[in-house]
Amino acid sequence: MGNIAHARSPLGMLPVDSTLLSHSLTAVGNSMTHSAVPRSPSSSDLIDEPITAGICRRRTDSAADQDDPTILTPSRTKRLKVYAKTVAEENDISEKGLYDFIDTGGIYYMLIDLKVCMMKSDTGRKAALLHDLKELLNSKDFKSALQNHLIACLLSPNITAYVTDTHPHIMNFIKDNSGVFKVPPSLFEDVELTAVLAKIISELLSSIHGNMKNKLLASIRKHMSIMDTAKSLAHGSIEVDSAHWNRLAFLRCCLRVFMIGISDYRTVPLKDLYSPFLILSLHTAVCARIGPKLGIDIDSIEREMLGEEEIPDGQDEGQEMHSTGTAGSGVIDNGDLADGTRELEENSGDNGNADQDYEPEDNEGPDTTPYSRALAEDDSGFGDNGKPAIFTSGKFWNFVDTSLENIHKVVKQEAVNNHQGTVFQHTSIENVFRQILVEYFQEDLADFPGNMAVPKLLTNNSPQWQTTIQNNLLWNENL
């Protein structure tokens, strides 16, 4: 049978010693199991015949069998086992499994066995991958990193809405940008794991919503500047700039109007919530309700602010958050702030900390059901004039989304008016919307100057993942 070099080509053709072959076949006839019988097309229909009959028949066409590499003749089987033993020794594994594989009886049987092993291995690999993904979803590090990225989503100055359709859009955004959120793409191939991730994101968004609201409320109570408030909200998770200040000023204005609307003065008294700048954002019914409590004539203040002029056509004084804001005397112009050409300089004194000494206003999570019914002119949404209350204590973020939608309508109409019916570019709407938010910042800065000296903006070096979120997490861009 030769040396080991020949054994390394186990199916190679070697000269057959007739005496050795005779002894081998006799031994096979006495001891070989049925599965080890050499296979050939001519014997496939004779599987139930005695094994010796097959061997005798094989002797008559042994030359043909030797030419067919798919047939495992006894001599080939022996050479394969010699090769298997050598490979097993080299790789420090047991040769029994290889012997059993060779004894399947033919190349086609061996291929089937290989396929079965591959399928079992693939099933095991998938099971191990699912196990690893489940452990990842349950890990604190993953949830912490995911929460930081979701904070960036909700603090994005360009986000379309805060609860209305927000969860499904963020889920799709994470799927399309899995590398940004460090979520393995394979996770979305499993329905069960995708559902687990969706639940985790929903819980984190609810927690972030509550934290943002509470910190904004604490900033009002402590009279913190919007720059300090932005730092507290970012909590080192993102880099903030003037665009964040403008959006957060809008959110703080919404919160003040909302707290006044629901008459919740437990955490912040009415006198600290109210400002003349809010009058154009308050429904007339709400103004009539709080005027006597504050001991002021809000109608007179409003006429004075408008310079005795009538409210412009198309501007509904009963519409929530309809005003584009009015810059008052002594308000610092942040036109340059919006362009990022200044730097913020602050005193080293105590500017307050919204992380400390605040109590949660409510434990109710945000209602993600969109409110689509248009409010009547005499309906404030807060239960005035005998109308049912739409915006209750747990629906602050719904109120914000409604307010954003109203501003977008005003912006779109103003863009149409400015172009006098001609086709206008989307950038025109963006510019008008950005200017409205600048006005919110100006009014907020007048009410909450903090310990700031000259407002300047630090050089902003936002990481790429944050820039991706701010530029691409958008929907309903046609508003």
Backbone angles phi, psi at 387, to 5 degrees: -85, 150
**Cβ atoms of 248 and 273 closer than 8 Å:** no
- Regarding whether 408 and 272 lie in a shared domain, the answer is yes
Closest CA to 175 of 156, 155, 157, 201: 201
- Which of 115, 132, 163 terminates a domain? The answer is 115
Place of tokens 């006839």: 29
Residue 9 resides in a domain: no
Check whether 411 has a pLDDT greater than 90: no
Paired with 346 in beta bridges are: 452
Residue 246 resides in a domain: yes
- Regarding whether 144 and 99 lie in a shared domain, the answer is no
Residue 80 resides in a domain: yes
Residue 129 resides in a domain: no
Return the minimum-mean-pLDDT range out of 61-75, 186-200, 241-255.
Answer: 61-75
Check whether 415 has a pLDDT greater than 80: no
Check whether 304 has a pLDDT greater than 50: yes
AA identity, residue 16:
V
- Which of 82, 115, 148 terminates a domain? The answer is 115
Check whether 213 has a pLDDT greater than 60: yes
- Regarding whether 102 and 215 lie in a shared domain, the answer is no
Is residue 116 packed enough to be buried (19+ CB in 10 Å), middle (13-18) or exposed (0-12)? exposed
The span from the CA of 174 to the CA of 181, in Å, is 6
- Regarding whether 98 and 188 lie in a shared domain, the answer is no
Q: Which of 124-138, 194-208, 411-425 has the highest mean pLDDT?
A: 194-208
- pLDDT computed for residue 269 by the predictor: 95
Distance of CA 82 to the CA centre of its chain: 57
Q: CB-based contacts of 349: which residues, under 8 Å, 6+ apart?
A: 451
pLDDT confidence of 6, banded at 50, 70, 90? very low
CA distances from 289 to 50, 264, 286, 322 (A): 105, 13, 5, 19
AA identity, residue 392:
T
Torsion of CA 162, 165, 166, 172, to 10 degrees: -160
- Regarding whether 213 and 79 lie in a shared domain, the answer is no
**Cβ atoms of 456 and 342 closer than 8 Å:** yes
Residue 121 resides in a domain: no
- Regarding whether 87 and 232 lie in a shared domain, the answer is no
pLDDT confidence of 367, banded at 50, 70, 90? low
- Regarding whether 150 and 66 lie in a shared domain, the answer is no
- Regarding whether 249 and 159 lie in a shared domain, the answer is yes
| pLDDT mean over 117-137 | 83
| pLDDT mean over 307-318 | 48
Check whether 47 has a pLDDT greater than 70: no
Q: Which of 58-62, 451-455, 471-475 has the highest mean pLDDT?
A: 471-475
- pLDDT computed for residue 456 by the predictor: 58
pLDDT confidence of 34, banded at 50, 70, 90? very low
AA identity, residue 14:
L
The span from the CA of 197 to the CA of 194, in Å, is 5
- Regarding whether 169 and 110 lie in a shared domain, the answer is no
| pLDDT mean over 295-307 | 88
| pLDDT mean over 359-364 | 44
- Which of 78, 98, 115 terminates a domain? The answer is 115
Residue 126 resides in a domain: no
**Cβ atoms of 470 and 304 closer than 8 Å:** no
Return the minimum-mean-pLDDT range out of 90-94, 128-132, 235-239, 243-247.
Answer: 128-132
Residue 332 resides in a domain: yes
Check whether 7 has a pLDDT greater than 60: no
- pLDDT computed for residue 72 by the predictor: 79
- Regarding whether 156 and 108 lie in a shared domain, the answer is no
Residue 350 resides in a domain: yes
- pLDDT computed for residue 150 by the predictor: 96
Check whether 336 has a pLDDT greater than 70: no
| pLDDT mean over 148-173 | 95
Closest CA to 474 of 422, 430, 436, 443: 430
- Regarding whether 240 and 185 lie in a shared domain, the answer is yes
- Regarding whether 214 and 105 lie in a shared domain, the answer is no
CA distances from 297 to 198, 272, 291, 320 (A): 50, 17, 6, 20
| Average pLDDT value for the chain | 75
pLDDT confidence of 66, banded at 50, 70, 90? low
Place of tokens 């007179």: 300
Angle of CA points 305, 311, 313, to nearest 5°:
155
- Count how many domains the chain has: 2
| pLDDT mean over 278-297 | 93
Check whether 308 has a pLDDT greater than 60: no
AA identity, residue 161:
A
Q: Domain range holding 313?
A: 140-472
Integer distance in angstroms from the first to the last C-alpha of the chain? 85
- pLDDT computed for residue 71 by the predictor: 76
